[in-house]
């Protein structure tokens, strides 16, 4: 096999000119595009490996018996593994340029396929609450994630302003936020919860907001649409809400529910 010379400078240069499409693709079409993008990245990675090992006569050297055969086989396997690990991000950029969306969002959507997107009925709260409003800085940061919030809200049948209110309360819209309990990201997911929700990287806003929204929808459904109980469960865990048959007598949880509902009232105007 002839080695292909590939000068590795700007890896995105060869695909930066791909035009974005305004077409709306189905889930099946998106998956096909994603697979093609991954195969393209694997091919590019194979070419890089060949270029880097040319001076040594390949991975197994030029004198080894069957070296060319094993070189080809292992180069393909290594390239495939590296592509799946998203080492270079070429597949991500190809997919983004074709669909206008993030490949990580497709991964989340695939994980949660079949989740109902019907609007969730929420019981209104009649309790008097201390009025609070979010800071201007947190609102400005929140605006950067409006498209992700809209997508997640529609997918899980949630009020967009409710998701925004939880984000503002949990992390003040800081995607790199980490709590003292090691909860991470915009909606402050614990590692174990994130894994259960299919979230691989809690610092990825798409994955985090989709995962957090899914969990919030689960809590609302679990407690029959009672928003106060659902929010308390998001903060203190559903077991505590069931134990006390309502908001647990924890100062932190009471303040949390109060803050989310206050922000919700603020955003609803």
pLDDT score recorded for residue 62: 52
At residue 139, the pLDDT reads 95
- Residue 238 buriedness (CB in 10 A; 0-12 / 13-18 / 19+): middle
Is 101 an annotated catalytic residue?
no
pLDDT in tens, 209-252: 999 999 999 999 999 999 999 999 999 999 999 999 999 999 99
Which pLDDT score is estimated for 86? 46
Q: What is the pLDDT of residue 241?
A: 96
Would residue 114 be called left, alpha or beta, if left means φ above 0 and alpha means ψ between -120 and 50 degrees?
Answer: left
DSSP sequence for 163-200: HHHHHHHHHTT-TT-B-TT--BTTTTB-HHHHHHTT-S
How far is residue 215's CA from residue 111's CA, in Å, rounded to a whole number? 13
22-54 residue pLDDT tens? 466 766 677 677 767 767 776 676 666 666 656
Determine contact, residues 231/212, Cβ cutoff 8 Å. Answer: no
In this predicted structure, what is the pLDDT of residue 248? 94
- Residue 171: exposure state from Cβ atoms within 10 A (0-12, 13-18, ≥19): buried
Claim: this prediction has a pTM higher than 0.95: no
How far apart CA 89 and CA 180 sit, in angstroms, is 32
Q: What pLDDT score does 76 carry?
A: 54
pLDDT at 98: 81
DSSP per position, 70-90: HHHHHHHHHHHHHHHTTSS-H
Residues 6+ positions from 266 with CB-CB distance below 8 Å: 132, 133, 134
Angle at 140 between CA 137 and CA 143, to 5 degrees: 150
CATH number belonging to the domain at 136-268, selected among 3.40.710.10, 1.10.530.10, 1.10.10.10, 3.10.350.10: 1.10.530.10
What does the domain layout of the chain look like in residue ranges? 1-101, 136-268
**Predicted pLDDT of residue 21:** 44
CA angle (232, 235, 239) in 5-degree steps: 70
The token duo for 3 is: 């080695």
Weakly modelled stretches of the chain, pLDDT under 50: 1, 4-22, 59, 65-67, 69, 75, 79-80, 82-87, 108-118, 120, 126-128
Q: Which of 75, 102, 109, 170 is catalytic?
A: 170
CA distance 38 to 95: 9
**Cβ contact 186:175 at 8 Å:** yes
Tokens of residue 234, six digits: 């998001």
* CA–CA gap between residue 269 and residue 267 (Å, rounded): 5
Give the per-residue pLDDT at 29.
Answer: 74
């Amino acid at each position: 096999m002839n080695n292909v010379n590939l000068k590795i400078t700007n890896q995105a240069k060869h695909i930066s000119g791909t035009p974005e499409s305004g077409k709306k693709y189905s889930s099946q079409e998106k998956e096909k595009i994603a697979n093609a993008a991954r195969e393209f990245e694997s091919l590019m990675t194979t070419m890089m490996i060949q270029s880097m090992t040319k001076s040594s006569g390949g991975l197994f050297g030029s004198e080894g018996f069957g070296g060319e055969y094993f070189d080809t086989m292992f180069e393909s396997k290594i390239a495939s593994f590296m592509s799946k690990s998203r080492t270079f991000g070429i597949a991500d950029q190809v997919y983004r340029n074709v669909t206008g969306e993030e490949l990580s969002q497709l991964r989340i959507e695939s994980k949660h396929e079949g989740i109902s997107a019907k609007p969730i009925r929420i019981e209104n709260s009649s309790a008097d609450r201390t009025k609070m409003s979010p800071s201007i800085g947190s609102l400005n940061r929140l605006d950067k994630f409006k498209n992700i919030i809209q997508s997640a809200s529609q997918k899980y049948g949630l009020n967009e302003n409710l998701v925004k209110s939880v984000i503002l309360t949990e992390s003040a819209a800081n995607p790199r936020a980490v709590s003292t309990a090691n909860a991470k990201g915009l909606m402050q997911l614990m590692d174990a919860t994130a894994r259960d929700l299919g979230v691989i990287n809690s610092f990825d806003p798409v994955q985090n907001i989709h995962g957090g929204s899914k969990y919030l929808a689960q809590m609302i459904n679990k407690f029959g649409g009672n928003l106060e109980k659902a929010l308390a469960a998001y903060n203190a865990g559903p077991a505590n809400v069931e134990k006390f048959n309502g908001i647990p007598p924890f100062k932190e949880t009471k303040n949390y529910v109060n803050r989310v509902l206050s922000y919700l009232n603020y955003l609803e105007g």
